Amino acid sequence: MSISGKKILIAVSGGIAAYKTHFLIRDFVKKGADVQVIMTPDAEQFVTKLSLSTLSKKPVYSDFYGDNGTWNSHVELALWADIMMIAPCTANTLSKMVHGMCDNLVIATYMSAKCPVFIAPAMDLDMYIHPSTKKNLKLAEDFGHIIIPAESGELASGLIGQGRMAEPETIYTAVENYFTGNIPAKSLEGKTVLITAGPTYEAIDPVRFIGNHSSGKMGFSLAEEASKRGAKVILISGPSAQVLKDSNVELYKVTSAREMLAKVFEFYDKIDIGIASAAVADYAPKEVAKEKIKKNDDNLTIELVKNPDILKIMGEKKTHQFLVGFALETQNEEENAKGKLEKKNLDMIVLNSLRDEGAGFKNDTNKIKIFTKTEKKEFNLKSKGDVARDILNFVESQLLK
């Protein structure tokens, strides 16, 4: 089945991203879909009924009553549609949807809909990451609605981050996939996955620290991929500039190895899969100076003490968890990775070498080998998104054994 002949009801709410809806309507109509547009009163501040009706080739409704006293039946609109798409969906409209605050034609139509509902949120960065928005998106997903996550980029406020409505091509593809049945299986539904990511910083004084070059890209990619597969995902990240693109992932920020250890064991007993991709500092200063250390001497000696080995402790306390570790090596790679697999009581370890061009810290790509106690699998250089899929595919294959 294709989009041709499908009846698509598009609801536009009052956000700056409403201009993108023109391109979405055009794409649906070009592919033979029958498109009906409705809008909230506030949406008329951003786009006109004339432009939307010209593209959809139908009248556009924003009120319960027409100019000639006729009733624009929200019931008929809802029952007519094969799918309903709210794009853009503002924080205000989302809140009204999930809490049943029915004060306009869009919400009344939504509450009468029997068809699948797609939601393309769009709002400013701080609004998108606010706990109330995350909760409302989760509620909408629990209702069975299909969320098309906001994307990252420059926002109308001038901030840069997640909140931009997905591009029309992305939304179109999501709808096309729905009608063709090409929907990714929720293969990790019912599972809880804990992932550590990024570096840790160990303070020397109030302004200096010991750290490493880890960006967190691999861990964030793993978190987003696990969430796509239906898992409940807990992401514990050291200092990282990465932007989380999936609002369903629970993100916890920490700084030091000891903070990461404490946060991991807040959840460890309740998780099914643990993936330790963080580059945890092995050592920390024995004492942290209370004031900035002045540059007085030619040499500075700092006594270091060993940090807790988070992954080793996870392995020691493992009961039912499937535990995945990472090894970044520069020599004797396979031997060291296999040793770590055994010593830390892991089920699986992912090896990458700094000698492989394009692999390791900060890169958008990675080249990995995966080991269990009985298996070895090698992969070519790929994007970290693709590497995340390879890793989780391998995890799933082990869980089925």
Which positions are catalytic? 212
Pull the structure tokens for residue 163: 């909140």
Considering only CA atoms, which of 118, 119, 120, 94 is closest in space to residue 107? 94
Considering only CA atoms, which of 166, 165, 171 is closest in space to residue 31? 171
d(CA 211, CA 401): 39
Integer angstrom CA distances of residue 4 from 12, 36, 184, 359:
22, 14, 22, 44
Considering only CA atoms, which of 342, 344, 339 is closest in space to residue 317? 344
d(CA 31, CA 283): 59
Helices (H), 143-292: 168-180, 217-228, 257-267
Considering only CA atoms, which of 302, 303, 240 is closest in space to residue 277? 240
Residue 327 CB contacts under 8 Å (≥ 6 apart), including other chains: 333, 336, 337, 340, 349, 350, 351, 352
Residue 120 φ then ψ, to 5°: -115, 90
- What is the DSSP track for 121-165? E---HHHHTSHHHHHHHHHHHHTTPEE---EEEE-TTS-EEEEEP
Pull the structure tokens for residue 264: 């991991």
d(CA 287, CA 67): 75
Label each residue of 302-363 as H, E or C.
CCEEECCCHHHHHHHCCCCCEEEEEEEECCCHHHHHHHHHHHCCCCEEEEEECCCCCCCCCC
